[in-house]
Structure formats: structure tokens, C-alpha cells
Amino acid sequence: MTEPFKVWSKFSVTKGTETFKFKMMEPPIDRLDDVMDLVYKYFMKEESIFKAAGVPKGDQEALKAEYELLVTGYISDELFHTTVCCVDNDNEEIGEIVGASFMTLTKKNTPLELQFHPQSKELLKAFEMILTLPSLTTKMDELNIDQYYDGRGVVVSSKYRGCGIAQEFLKVRRLVCKEKGVPLTCAMMTAIGTQKAAERDGWQTMEELDFEEFGKLHGVSFEGSPKIAKLMAVRID
């Protein structure tokens, strides 16, 4: 059977008494609202920097609309790559979308600047912090690379956590890099779960960030977040 969209991988997992089947694929254009719902429901409300910036406490309708413009713009950018995880129904029908992974291609001598200009104070604060996170941009000569895929987040529905979806997303990032001839991928891992998943997949810690000190620098609190965020990377053979 020919898949209507590119499928990077398929896998199954048993959780309790249930067995789930998933496939990692390119996002169907007509299902982008489902992707945005995941981002809004989980990523914007749970990711450490967004929480510290006060996003979960802001005007939710305004924040959702504003962030949707950002995500839509990202997805349409040829340098941006999105993978979704959906329930595999063993046919051409696209099942429930339960996770998404985002990354963007960063090339040598590309300035690190804010392309998106938030109107809400919460998103403005979040992106101000994001711009000061450790980056591999200044280390490309040292690493002997001229481009890399930089992670922009992984989100998984709470119902399907513990199924290895985040782990599979990291494997797919390797596949994307290999297909496109990109020698390295990295991400700032701000959650313990993704840090552990990256370690299992052979990623190395390039730099660590103390959230308490980072919070003092920006006048925010990272209460409830991991103590350390990690810039992690993996070379593609």
C-alpha cells in the first residue's frame, strides 16, 4: 500500500493492557489545526521557558492566536522541518495526531535574531530568553560543520506519554539529517524526559544551563522546572 505522505518510521508499544501502533510522518496540510492544538494544550503550558515567562497565566485566546501565526509561519518555511506522530490504523487514513517534533536548519553565519515579534508580554519575555540560550551557532568552525538542524521543541499528548514517542522523534531527526545531508542536529533539552531520551539515543551534552541563575538574569522563576537545561547534540554518520 502506498502511503499518501512520507512516513519516516512505524513502531508499536504495549502500555498496561493496551498495544498502540504509531507512525512518524510528514504533517498533512489539512491537519495543522490538530498540531496547533497539541502545541497550545501542552507545549505552551508545560515547557519550562514558557512557564517561567508566564504564558500559562496570560490571555489564553490571544496567546493561542498569536502563537498559531508563529507556528504556521514556521511550517511554511523551507528551512523548517516538522514531523508528527499519529495513531497507525493500518490504512491510508491519518489517525489521531498525538505528537509533533519541530526543528529548523541553521546555516553558517546566520545571525541569531528574532524573526517573530510578539505582542503579548508573556511571549515577548519567552522569546527574549530563547535568544539568550546557549547555541551551536558560534561553534560551527570548532565543530567543522556549515549547517545543522536545531530543535524547536517536541510535544506529546499526555495520554500517550510513556510510549517512547519522544525517543522515536529523536531517531527520526537523525533520519531527516541523513536524507538531507545535514551533519549534526542539536536541541536545548529543558525537560528531564527529553534529556534522558537524548542520552539513550547517543546525544552528547555540549553545554549546561542553570535555570536558577538564568531566571535571575531575566527576572523570572523556574520553579517546578529541572535544575539544569542541556544543549545536546548528535553527529550523523
7-235: CATH class: alpha beta
User: For the chain, how many residues are written?
Assistant: 237
Output the pTM of the full model.
Answer: 0.91
Q: State how far the Cα of 191 lies from the Cα of 207, in Å rounded to an integer.
A: 15
pLDDT tens string, the chain, 237 residues long: the values are 445 679 999 999 998 888 999 999 998 888 888 998 999 999 999 999 999 999 999 998 888 888 887 777 776 778 889 999 999 987 767 899 999 999 999 998 776 665 667 789 999 999 899 989 999 998 999 999 999 999 999 999 999 999 999 999 999 999 999 999 999 999 999 999 999 999 999 999 999 999 999 999 999 999 989 999 999 999 998
Strand order through the sheet with 204-210? 7-15, 18-25, 80-87, 97-107, 147-156, 184-189, 228-235, 204-210
